[in-house]
Chains A and B, each alone.
Chain A
Amino acid sequence: MMSARAVVLALSGLVAAGALLDLRVALRSDLAPISADDMAAAKARIEAVQQPGDVIVHSPLFSVRELQGLGDLPARPDRPTAGVMATRRVLVLDRAEAQMYGLGRPESEEAVGEHLVLKTYAPQGGGVLAVFDLLTQLGSGMMSVERPVGHRTSVCTQPRAEGGWACPGEAEWLYAAPRSLRVGGQDAQCVWAHPTTGGAVVFTLPAPGAAPEGRKLVLKLQAGLNDDAVTGTPDGAPVFVAVEQAGKDLGRLEVPNQVGWHRLEVPVGPEQVTLRITTPRDGRRHHCINAQIVEEVAK
């Protein structure tokens, strides 16, 4: 049993300690800014270890000035979801003094300069490795427009102010860019893939290369229409996504005028994969896709 004196001293001490902790927050100075050299070194290091399908995350504490040192590296401050952590290798560029929480134990960790740390998280989901992800690796010229189908008339290489690439000679709503759409009642990130009447929007995914022995490549495709586009257009036409590789049809995903995602998984080979998107009527077909090529254990 503590004496009354000890109780008073303990409680007063706790209050004072709590106050001093807050005072420290109130009076401390800002962290030293990350130098351009350190950011450039971090970028070089990430590019050296980066593999196809890696997700790159940076600390939400970086200012825009600091982030400019990362150049065009496709890094974002969004914390990866559990699903991404399970299936993708994640590279995290963090501030050494205030590190991100909740990502678990990294596979490896290395200091970059004085104030940065690069952490690598291995996928935890049983050997599935994403080798290509359209959302994060979408690039100039990856999308084109055929009009009519089979006759390429425009390659989407013109940078847009809002991000992504416009398709010269085509309507401004035909472009390649990541977007946030509400699909199935949830905000989701996906690649804008608005089809066009009398033509096709085509995504050409780079050749993934051959899978090592005992493993196989699978294309995981999901496609959906913005919820408002579905509910506001009762007679909206379906959208079709045809999967082709080396001149062969591998499968076709039909996206009816319904709320929610539609999915297709097909084994693919090492060559380029083509996604050809068509519709009979393009009115309010606010359509987007996610496409991943993953490598997994062959059964």
Chain B
Amino acid sequence: MTMRRAGWLAAGLVALYLVLQLAGLKQVGLTDDDDFYIPAGIEYAKWLGRVVRFDRGAFTQQAIEAAFSPNHEHPPLAKYVFGVCHFAFGAWLGPTDSARVGTVLFSTLTAALLMVLALFHLGPRRGLFAGVVGVLLLLALPRFYFHSHAATLDVPVAAMYLLAATCALLAERRGWAAWVAGVTFGLASATKLNGPFLIAPYLVFALVVRRGTGGPRARGLVSLPRLPFALFPMAVVGPLVFLALWPWMWFDLFPRVGQYVGFHLHHYGIYFLYFGTIYDKDPFAPWHAPFTMAAITVPVATSLLAAFGLWLGRTAIWSRIARPTAYGEGYRREGDLLLYSVLNAAVAILVVALSGGPKYGGAKLFMPFFPFWCLLAGYGALRLYEAAQEALPRPWARVVPITATALAVVASAGLQLRFGGYALSEYNALAGGLRGATATGFERQYYDIAFRDLVAWLNEHAPKNARVHFLPNNWEYVRTYKWYRQGGELRDDIQVTQAPGQAQLIIVTHERRFARYGNDLLQHRKYEVLEEKVVDSVPIWSVLKVR
């Protein structure tokens, strides 16, 4: 297997990944965040249009404030992409799904980077094996698949974080990559707040693998390792790229940087149901909530493969920690990949666990964790296969590990197909599936998803001029349903009303994290049920005829 051939095969897989992601666009309902980021993206892209037309007026403070005021609490990179995609694909896909192509592209970039990391560090044959399994497991990861279709910042930052991390790691062996790492670190920072946290695992990694390489000025008792060159562009070029991409910061830099940081330090409460308790304010949820959510939402076999990958690769990891200058280049690369992946996976999830901020939805906020975890799972599958070659006779040496790995991919895909557009309701077997998780006290859905099959049902069955009200959190559906109407997906005469007293149809979405839900259900269960969506024996939404 040559690297060129492996590269083509990897490119084919990434193309398949893109096609399968695009195929899901019309399946995933709008989330409450889509209405924040898509309109902002449209404004940002309009401003970009003025820039590329060399319109000098675009650079006035007034023009910039007008364009970048929407959603100015988050950096702009992903929103530029949403806006450009909205204008590029709007005629075919409508106003929202066109923008969401941007998220699919970010997700596809993630798959491509997994292949790059695997091929570069494990070689063409082994890298192709680990990369293919990692990408397939990522593709079949239900919650990541859902977020890969929402015009929000979580998968984009997972992709840009991985891009910057990849460049920084490549810079260990390719000088040019150090400068690219600086630029991509700025891009990741300009995507979402998770981006800058890359510096922590990178610094730890760089210091560990340089232990004993004391820099030329190291003197005295402590010999400091030589710092990697990539740190310089990351520290200097990165912030410049961040600021260059975000004109909102240009005219009032320090107060607005302060506002940006302050917004996240003092984030408003977001309800989170965890083991039957509703958390809505500081400390929002116990530190272990993200770990628990990862454990019960990532398919079991995927996590087992990742864990086995770490265990089977422990020698390679330890070699980089204990004797960083020993061993051959191939083994060092393998150790680097594993050590770097586990550090990044850990930091991505620890940041959410220890930050004291809201744990919204449990898994949404640590999307950068998942690509690293799937890469480790791919490596686990590779090492299992290699161990079987030495330990088992033919044909079992191939049959056993490949069957186990294929089952892992099939099971993950099975969960994804079972939950489909309801992927945020997916829980694995450790939680007993959705029904077990709901009975245990986890939330059955979040993100106020405007499910598309509900929209289709309303189009077909709602009375003329129907007024619809959602319980317990109507406002978010006012925001998302207007997009469906604008895109021609919802009948013109159907409206979501803020006044429950005016509604003919009440739709209960059964979200227990809202304290009023119990009373809402008690008061409305007497009405005729026109339609009810039940997934894995758990009601997700119920349409009630109230007049």
Contacts and interface: CB of A to CB of B under 8 A. Distances in A.
B300 A187 contact: no
B391 A8 contact: yes
Interface in B336-390: 384, 387-388, 390
B512 A30 contact: no
B55 to A, nearest CB: 44
Contacts of B293: none
Interface residues of A, number: 59
A162 interface: yes
Interface stretch (A45-53, A74-82, A272-280, A283-291): A74-82
Nearest to B393: A5
Contact of A8 (B277, B304, B387, B516): B387
Given A76-B522, A100-B439, A14 B304 contact: yes
Contacts of B415: 22, 25-26
B404 A15 contact: yes
A188 to B, nearest CB: 8
Interface stretch (B146-154, B185-193, B259-267, B425-433): B425-433
B387 A102 contact: no
Contacts of A31: 435, 537
A233 interface: no
Interface in B509-539: 510, 512, 515-519, 521-526, 529, 532, 534, 536-539
A215 interface: no
Interface in A7-22: 7-9, 11-16, 18-22
Given A22-B301, A64-B539, A76 B435 contact: no
Given A76-B519, A101-B276, A163-B523, A64 B537 contact: no
B203 interface: no
A12 B400 contact: yes
Given A26-B417, A65-B532, A102-B275, A60 B391 contact: no
B519 A163 contact: yes
B305 interface: yes
A276 B249 CA distance: 57
Nearest to B525: A67
Q: Which of A8, A16, A179, A185 has the most CB of B within 10 A?
A: A8
B391 A4 contact: yes
A181 to B, nearest CB: 9
Interface string A159-197: 001110000000000000011100001111100000000
Contact of B440 (A15, A77, A102): A102
A179 B303 CA distance: 43
A31 B303 CA distance: 28
A16 B542 contact: no
A3 B390 CA distance: 11
Interface in B301-337: 301, 303-305, 308
Contacts of B521: 64, 67, 76-77
B440 A101 contact: yes
A1 interface: no
Contacts of B94: none
Contact of B391 (A3, A18, A99): A3
A61 B538 contact: yes
Contacts of A61: 435, 438-439, 537-539
Interface string B257-281: 0000000000000000001111011
Q: Is the interface of B mostly helix, strand, loop or mixed?
A: helix
A44 interface: no
Contacts of A20: 407, 411
A209 to B, nearest CB: 26
A273 B59 CA distance: 71
Contacts of A22: 299-301, 411-412, 414-415, 428-429
Contacts of B537: 30-31, 61, 98
A59 interface: yes
Contacts of B384: 8, 11-12, 15
Nearest to B397: A8
Contact of B525 (A23, A24, A64): A64
B305 A15 contact: yes
Contacts of B403: 12, 16
B123 interface: no
B508 interface: yes
A27 interface: yes
Contacts of B501: 161-162
Contact of A102 (B304, B305, B441, B529): B441
Contacts of A108: none
Given A21-B429, A22-B429, A98 B500 contact: no
A64 B301 contact: no
Interface string B439-458: 11100100000000000000
Given A8-B392, A180-B519, A30 B400 contact: no
Nearest to B406: A19
A187 B440 CA distance: 22
B124 interface: no
A154 B107 CA distance: 62
A105 interface: no
A89 interface: no
B436 interface: yes
B13 interface: no
B401 interface: yes
B184 to A, nearest CB: 34
A68 interface: yes
B416 to A, nearest CB: 8
A19 B418 contact: no
B387 A63 contact: no
A11 to B, nearest CB: 5
A26 B407 contact: no
A299 interface: no
Contact of B432 (A14, A98, A179): A98
A95 interface: yes
A78 B512 contact: yes
A63 B304 contact: no
Interface of B: 275-278, 280-281, 299-301, 303-305, 308, 384, 387-388, 390-392, 400-401, 403-405, 407-408, 410-412, 414-415, 417-418, 427-430, 432-433, 435-436, 438-441, 444, 500-501, 508, 510, 512, 515-519, 521-526, 529, 532, 534, 536-539, 542, 544, 546
15 contacts: A12-B400, A18-B299, A18-B304, A22-B411, A63-B532, A63-B534, A63-B542, A64-B508, A64-B544, A68-B526, A68-B529, A77-B518, A79-B276, A98-B439, A185-B281
Which 5 A/B pairs are nearest by Cβ-Cβ distance? Answer: A26-B414, A18-B300, A76-B518, A21-B429, A163-B523
Interface of A: 3-5, 7-9, 11-16, 18-28, 30-31, 59-65, 67-68, 70, 72, 74-79, 95, 98-102, 161-163, 178-180, 185-189
